[in-house]
């Protein structure tokens, strides 16, 4: 029953507070945990294919156990000691682990530099939120990168954590963030992580499978509330949602591309190497700077719709299952 209130309260806190720079973020602690464990495990396991695969599996098990059990223990003890202290911390953590306002703020920094700064400043701003090489991006390339980031992170940064919060409270939300952070740190197909990070990458695919598809449909349908192209959003989502090496990444990008009537994705450079990637959407019109602002309007509509949906799901579970 408590989650009927902590989820919407945490979401509102995220919209109001975002991610204050002065406040240490729990994901930073998870990142340090992953790094420390990786260093220790690599010293123990042999540097062979099987050794790195086994080490990667152990890393995943330990991170999952710690990211679930530590917040579970803290919240459990606080609720036993004082209900309101437990409620406040759970709400606060929920707000911290959602990224609606921070995603909007960071992408709008790119918008501001494109409108009022130089292309070099815009490239630097977008390099803070994307993994691709940005030093040679054109104005259109910078804009596309920002829009794609808003689309992709609407799922793993907001909708997925909300879904897991609705199902299992803060412990499950932390567990998801642990899985997602492992993928972002270890899930590379390079010499260092091809085997060590494989388990983390596969687990992230599984954890995001339902949230990504939920996000895609929510985004396509939320176009109704912001006056965007609903028909094209549904069309492109259904057609292009698999146009990515990851089974989940193109879900929201496809809905966003269709909603904006633009073409996203395509080839990109990572660490100096060109990766050929399929495009998403149709170039009904050229990409323009204002698309960053439009993508954020759709982001907010999608996240509000998601919060309402998951609150309703939580209510039904409590009413009919008593949990």
Q: Write down the pTM of the prediction.
A: 0.91
Q: Which domain holds residue 292?
A: 3-321
Nearest alpha-carbon partner for 155 in 70, 38, 90, 249: 249
Q: How far is CA 80 from the centre of its chain?
A: 32
Contact 259, 233 (CB under 8 A): yes
Q: What is the pLDDT of residue 1?
A: 67
Report pLDDT digits (tens) over 166-221. Answer: 888 899 999 999 999 999 889 887 788 888 889 999 999 999 999 999 999 999 99
Catalogue the long-range contacts made by 238-246 (C-beta closer than 8 Å, 24 or more residues apart). 240/278, 240/280, 240/281, 241/213, 241/216, 243/277, 243/278, 243/279, 243/280, 244/277, 244/278, 244/280, 245/277, 246/205
Tell me the three state secondary structure of residue 270. Answer: strand
Q: What is the pLDDT of residue 97?
A: 93
Radius of gyration of the chain (CA): 20
Q: What is the pLDDT of residue 271?
A: 65
- Separation CA 87–CA 101 (nearest Å): 22
Report pLDDT digits (tens) over 244-292. Answer: 878 888 899 999 999 999 999 877 767 667 667 888 899 999 999 999 9
Confidence of residue 322 (pLDDT cuts 50, 70, 90): low
| Residue with more model confidence, 245 or 92 | 92
Number of domains in the chain: 1
Question: What DSSP designation does 25 have?
Answer: P
**H helices present in 18-118, as ranges:** 26-44, 49-81, 83-97, 100-116
From residue 73, alpha-carbon distances to 86, 95, 127, 171 in Å are: 11, 19, 37, 9
Confidence of residue 233 (pLDDT cuts 50, 70, 90): very high
**H helices present in the chain, as ranges:** 3-17, 26-44, 49-81, 83-97, 100-116, 119-127, 139-154, 160-186, 198-226, 230-240, 250-260, 290-321
């Amino acid at each position: 029953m408590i989650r009927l209130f902590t989820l919407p309260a945490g979401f509102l806190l995220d919209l109001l507070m975002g991610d204050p720079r002065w406040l240490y973020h729990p994901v930073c602690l998870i990142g340090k945990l992953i790094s420390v464990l990786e260093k220790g495990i690599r010293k123990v396991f042999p540097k062979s294919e099987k050794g790195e695969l086994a080490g990667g599996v152990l890393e995943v098990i330990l991170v999952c156990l710690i990211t679930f059990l530590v917040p579970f223990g803290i919240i459990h003890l606080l609720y036993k000691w004082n209900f309101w202290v437990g409620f406040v911390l759970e709400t606060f953590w929920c707000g911290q682990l959602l990224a609606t306002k921070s995603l909007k703020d960071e992408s709008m920094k790119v918008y501001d530099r494109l409108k009022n700064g130089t292309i070099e400043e815009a490239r630097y701003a977008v390099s803070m939120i994307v993994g691709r090489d940005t030093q040679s991006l054109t104005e259109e390339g910078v804009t596309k990168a920002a829009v794609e980031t808003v689309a992709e992170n609407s799922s793993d940064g907001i909708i997925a954590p909300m879904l897991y919060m609705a199902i299992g409270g803060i412990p499950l939300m932390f567990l998801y963030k642990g899985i997602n952070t492992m993928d972002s740190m270890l899930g590379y197909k390079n010499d260092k992580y091809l085997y060590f990070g494989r388990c983390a990458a596969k687990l992230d695919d599984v954890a995001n499978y339902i949230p990504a598809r939920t996000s895609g449909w929510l985004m396509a349908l939320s176009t109704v509330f912001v006056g965007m192209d609903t028909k094209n959003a549904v069309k492109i989502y259904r057609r292009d949602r698999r146009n990515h090496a990851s089974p989940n990444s193109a879900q929201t990008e496809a809905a966003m591309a269709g909603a904006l009537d633009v073409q996203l994705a395509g080839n990109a450079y990572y660490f100096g190497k060109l990766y050929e990637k399929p495009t998403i959407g149709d170039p009904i019109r050229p990409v323009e700077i204002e698309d960053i602002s439009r993508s954020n309007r759709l982001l907010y509509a999608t996240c509000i719709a998601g919060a309402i949906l998951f609150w309703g799901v939580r209510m039904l579970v409590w009413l009919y299952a008593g949990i």
